[in-house]
Chains A and B, each alone.
Chain A
Amino acid sequence: MKDKFYVNIKIPVILMTLFIFLIFSCNNKETENAAKAEKDSTKPEIIKTQKVEEYAVEAPPFSDGIYPCTDCHANIVANPERRVLTEWHEDISAIFNHDSENRWCLDCHDLKNRDYLKLASGKLLDFKESYKLCGQCHGEKLRDWKVGVHGKRTGNWNGKKEYLLCVHCHNPHSPKFNELTPLPPPMRPEDIK
C-alpha cells in the first residue's frame, strides 16, 4: 500500500518534470533558432569608408602675386650657387627654419622650371602635389596623412573628403605649428545663474 502510494505520487511528478523540461528545452531551441535566423538575415553590410586614390586638396596657399614664379624669373639669369638670399625673398630668408643648415631654395625648387617643385630624384612636381615632396623626408607623416590620421579632413566619413595640403598648416619654410589664441574658458559653475 505504502509502496503503491509512493509510486502514484512519483510517476506524475516525474512525468510533470519531464514535460516541463521538454517544453523548456523546446522553447530554448526555438528561440535559439530564431535568434540565429535573425542574425543570419540581418547580417549587416558594413558601411565602408570610400577608398581614395586621388586626394582632393585645396589649392596651394601661395602668397598674393607670387605665382607663377616665371613672371619674374623668366627675366633673371639663374644663379645655382648656395647662398642666403638678401635682395629678393628676404621675408623667407628671415623665417627660414627647416633644416636650414643643410638646405636652401634649390633643394626643393627647380633651377630651370621655376613653376615646379623638384623631388630628390630630379623629377618635377606640380605645387598641387607638394605633399610628395614633404613625404621624401617625412614618410611616416605622409602615410598617416594619406589614411586621414595626420592632418585635417572634412566632408564625409563614409564618402568624399577634402584634404588639406601639408603647407596649409605648416609653412614649408618654417614648419613649426604656430601658437593659437584660445577661445574663452567656460563660466565657473558658481557664476552660472
Chain B
Amino acid sequence: MKKENSRRSFLKNISLATFSALALSGCNTEVFDEFLQKNFRTLSKKEKDKIIKNLELKYKEKYGKEFHVSDKPAMEGTLFGYALDLSRCVGCRKCVYACVKENNQSREPQIHWIEVLQMEKEKGIDFADSNVQYNPEKVPEKGHFYVPVQCQQCRNPQCVTVCPVKATWQEPDGIVVVDYNWCIGCRYCMAACPYGARHFNWGEPTVPTEEINTEMHYLGNRPRKKGVVEKCTFCIQRTREGKYPACVEICPVGARKFGNLLDPESEIRYILENKRVLVLKQELNTQPKFYYFFGI
C-alpha cells in the first residue's frame, strides 16, 4: 500500500513538475491545448470550431493573409473515384506542381504527392524498371509511356490498418485522411503502403507566403509540421465543395478523370463500364479507387 502511494505521488509530482516547467518556459495555453487535443474524430462540433478559429488566427499571424479552414464532412451518397488515361498522359509533370501548389506541399525540403514514372512500352508496367528522373527536351519520348502515381485511395488501405494510434482513416466518401495533430511520425504507414504514396516531413516544411493556398481543409492541405506524414487527399478542400481536383484541371491532355462511383451517370462509371481498366498491384488486394485506363 505504501509503495502504491509513493508511486502515485511520484507520478503526481513529476507531472506537476513538467507542467510548471512548461509554464515557466513561457508556453502559452495554446500549446497545452494543442498537445492535449483529442483525435479529430472524437472532437465535438464546438471543439472543432474553436480549434479551427485558432488555426485561422495562427496562420494569419504567420503569413499575413486571411485563411479559410474547412472541416466539411463527406457528402452523403458519394464515393470518390479517379481514373487516369494511360494512352493520353505525356509525362509533362504539370499535375505534380499543380498539386504542390494547391496542397501547400513543402518546397524545401521537397515533397511531391504525385510521381510520374516513365516506363518502356516494350516492357509494360514494370515498377522495378521505371524512371522518375527523366528529363528530355520534349515529352513524350519515343517508345515510352507514363504512369503518374499518387495515393490510390484503397478500399482496403493498409496504411490505416497499421497505424498504431488511429491517426489515419478512411472517410465515408472514401478519402483516406491523416490527422496531422494525432500522427506520431512512426512511419509504419509508409512501410505498409505499396505505392509509396505517403511522405514524411523530415524537416520543418516551407511554403512561400505568396504561393500559399488559403482555402484549406483540416484533413487536407493545411500546413503540416515537422515529423508528420502526409499524402494525396483527392483535394478534399475542393472535391467536397463539388470541384474537380487540381490535377484534373491542370492536365493539358485531359488524361485525368474524377467523379462519384455511386452515380451511374458519372464520368468515372462510364469509364469503368466502357474502357479497359486496371489497378496497380491488384494482387495485393488493396482495392484502389484509382483506376488506370486506355481511352483509345
Q: Which residues of A contact B (CB under 8 A)?
A: 42, 44-49, 51, 144, 147-159, 164, 169, 177, 179-188, 192-193
Contact = CB atoms under 8 A, between A and B. Distances in A.
A184 to B, nearest CB: 7
B195 to A, nearest CB: 15
A147 B267 contact: yes
B136 A182 contact: yes
Given A51-B265, A177-B90, A159 B242 contact: yes
Contacts of B97: 183
Given A51-B265, A157-B239, A193 B203 contact: yes
Contacts of B139: 179-182
Contacts of B251: 152
Given A47-B77, A177-B253, A148 B267 contact: yes
A157 B133 contact: no
21 contacts: A47-B78, A47-B262, A47-B263, A48-B260, A48-B263, A49-B266, A149-B85, A149-B270, A151-B254, A154-B249, A155-B243, A157-B243, A177-B253, A179-B90, A180-B92, A180-B252, A182-B93, A182-B134, A182-B136, A183-B92, A192-B202
Interface string B233-269: 0000001001110001101111001111011011100
A156 B243 contact: yes
Contacts of B253: 152, 169, 177
Contacts of B275: 149
B22 interface: no
B242 A44 contact: no
Q: Is the interface of A mostly helix, strand, loop or mixed?
A: loop
B75 A47 contact: yes
Given A49-B266, A179-B140, A186 B259 contact: no
A156 B242 contact: yes
B259 A157 contact: yes
Main secondary structure of the interface of B (DSSP, over half): loop
A144 B295 contact: yes
Interface in B150-207: 202-203
Nearest to A188: B133
A193 B110 CA distance: 9
Contact of B138 (A51, A155, A179, A186): A179
B48 interface: no
Given A156-B243, A157-B242, A192-B202, A49 B112 contact: no
Contact of A153 (B78, B112, B244): B244
Nearest to A147: B270
Contacts of A42: 76
A158 B267 contact: no
A152 B253 CA distance: 7
B160 to A, nearest CB: 22
A181 B263 contact: no
A159 B242 CA distance: 7
B137 interface: yes
Given A157-B260, A182-B138, A186-B110, 18 more contacts: A46-B262, A47-B77, A47-B262, A49-B260, A148-B270, A153-B267, A154-B244, A157-B259, A157-B267, A159-B242, A177-B90, A180-B90, A180-B252, A181-B138, A183-B92, A183-B94, A183-B97, A185-B135
A157 B258 contact: yes
A166 B295 CA distance: 16
A180 B136 CA distance: 10
A42 B76 CA distance: 9
B120 interface: no
Nearest to A162: B249
B73 interface: no
Contacts of B249: 154
Given A153-B244, A156-B243, A187-B110, A182 B254 contact: no
Contacts of A182: 91-93, 134-136, 138-139
Contacts of A51: 265
Nearest to A177: B253
B254 A152 contact: yes
B115 interface: yes
A149 B271 CA distance: 7
Contacts of B140: 179
Nearest to A161: B244
A6 to B, nearest CB: 47
A156 B263 contact: no
A149 B75 CA distance: 24
